Amino acid sequence: MMNKLGLAMIACTFGVTACSQLREPTDAQLATLLHSERSNPADANALLDSKAIDCMRAWSGNEKLMQNLAAGVISVEGKKDCQGKLDDLLADAARNPDTFKFPELTAPKVVTRAIDLQEARRMALLANPASHVPPAALLHSAPAPVAFAPPDSTVDLGAAGARLHEAETLCQQVQQAATQANANAGLKSLAPFCATNLRKLRSTMEWSARNGQSSERLDAIAASADNIATAARNVLGRGNQ
């Protein structure tokens, strides 16, 4: 009587696809595997390692997923280097208890889900009002100058980009006003806060545009820039009262 192993071998002979089908990690497994070193794996909104996701895109073999990747990422040396980093993540039992393999992590369907998961977490972070409240410790501290991220001339952010630029201009005015000797607490607290968050917003919007996100998605992200612009107008209007 043929044993189960023999039956499995015959099944593989006539159905290679079924036997070679790659496993697909869940969102939770992807989050555990790809969380950035500085984030808490238990944080449901913690951002993932963008460099790891870019490496997955480079190895996906999918032209759409590889669009707009930096030349250094898709070069032979770049892919070799980042593969080593992905292999390190996969070898970490705490990150990868289910022992997913490199081909499973870089399959186009899995890469797409990782990109979507990262974008959903970015949006959740930007939509969280608590993330836009200056820490109380900043209320009485001197503002540290924070440089703005230079715009990427290869990315068109459309109307959303104009809203972001307006917020950046107002934030620069706040930074200048905050350096005055009689600057009030509102100016001092908002100056570093607005610049830091606008850097993140620009990075998120440009990343979204590079990855084919719709103008509606960019407009949704720009709403956070509008909130910062409103806060800047308010503190500038109060001046040094």
Cα separation of the two ends of the chain: 92
List pLDDT tens digits, range 93-143: 999 999 999 999 999 999 999 998 888 887 776 655 455 445 554 444 544
Query: What domain range is 60 assigned to?
Result: 24-129
One domain, residues 76 and 146: no
* 76 inside domain: yes
One domain, residues 162 and 121: no
One domain, residues 115 and 65: yes
One domain, residues 200 and 118: no
* 205 inside domain: yes
Q: How far is it, in rounded angstroms, from Cα 190 to Cα 171?
A: 8
pLDDT value of residue 239: 60
pLDDT value of residue 145: 57
Question: Domain boundary at 60, 95, 129, which?
Answer: 129
Question: Domain boundary at 129, 164, 188, which?
Answer: 129
One domain, residues 110 and 149: no
Question: Domain boundary at 129, 154, 180, which?
Answer: 129
Q: Got the DSSP string for 95-161? A: T-TT---HHHHTSHHHHHHHHHHHHHHHHHHHH-GGGGSPPGGGTTSPPPP-PPPPP-TT---HHHH
3 state SS of 27: helix
Taking residue 59's Cβ as centre, other Cβ atoms within 10 Å add up to: 22
* 7 inside domain: no
* 134 inside domain: no
pTM > 0.75: no
What's the number of domains the chain is made of?
2
Task: With beta carbons less than 8 A apart as the criterion, state whether 25 and 100 touch.
Answer: yes
